[in-house]
A = this chain, B = another copy of it.
Amino acid sequence: MATRTPRNTLNAELIVRTALDLMEARGTDAFSLRGLAAELGVGPMALYTYFRNKDDLYDAVRDHLMALVPPVPAGASWPDQVRAVCRGLRRLMLEHPCLAQLLASRPLSGHETARVAEGLLGVLRDAGFDNETAARTHTTLFTFVLGATSWEIQMAAERRDPEAWRRLRTTMEALPATEFPVVVALAPELARTTGGDDQFDYGLDLLLAGLAAKAAG
């Protein structure tokens, strides 16, 4: 939009911030390099001076967001520290839904992403887990948070589209109770597990209970 931007006013930081604003305002899927360039008042190719391609820009936006993951709280027990990091990451994903897609579609890299990993891995090592267990646990926790929160965000987005939501409810209610007795009987409970703090903490507590058993045994 707007008028043409004069030369040498563009930079990587501005591009990343504008990209993030655009994803937040118009939706992650609607984001395009052409739209971003228009918003910045430059031609699409101007962006290629700062980023190799679209994925490269995605990585930069992701790292920009990962800087907002709060640090590990000092002086807490290790399970509470793990809880804090996982909840902090989930919270950030809920505040910036594009982060879910950015984390899921690209391998981890970048300074701020490493910082988050360093925090969680440090907690696990200090808790006394050996290197392999710490690494396995880190990946398990990360993929759990990513999977659970991505799903939550996806379901919330579906609920926002009234037409899609109506169709989903219709097909759910049309399921034959003779063929799917348990799904039909538990439909209300299932609908309540598509998201929310309680559902997330339930899964996280299962993992932590398993970990505690491992640490004790």
Contact = CB atoms under 8 A, between A and B. Distances in A.
Interface stretch (A12-20, A38-46, A178-186): A178-186
Contacts of A172: 109
A144 B203 contact: yes
Interface residues of A, number: 62
A206 to B, nearest CB: 3
Interface stretch (A1-9, A91-99, A115-123): A115-123
A144 B144 contact: yes
A154 interface: yes
A214 B210 CA distance: 10
Contacts of A144: 143-144, 147-148, 203
Nearest to A151: B143
Could you tell me the dominant secondary structure of chain A's interface residues? helix
Contacts of A145: 147
Interface string A79-100: 0000000000000000000000
A168 B110 CA distance: 10
Given A109-B168, A168-B109, A202 B136 contact: yes
Interface in A159-217: 168, 171-172, 175, 179-183, 185-186, 189-190, 192-194, 199, 202-203, 205-211, 213-214
A213 B209 contact: yes
Given A105-B154, A125-B182, A206 B207 contact: yes
Contacts of A109: 168, 171-172
Contacts of A211: 206
Contact of A210 (B179, B189, B193, B205): B205
B140 A151 contact: no
Interface of A: 104-107, 109-110, 114-115, 117-118, 121-122, 125, 131-132, 134-140, 142-148, 150-151, 154-155, 158, 168, 171-172, 175, 179-183, 185-186, 189-190, 192-194, 199, 202-203, 205-211, 213-214
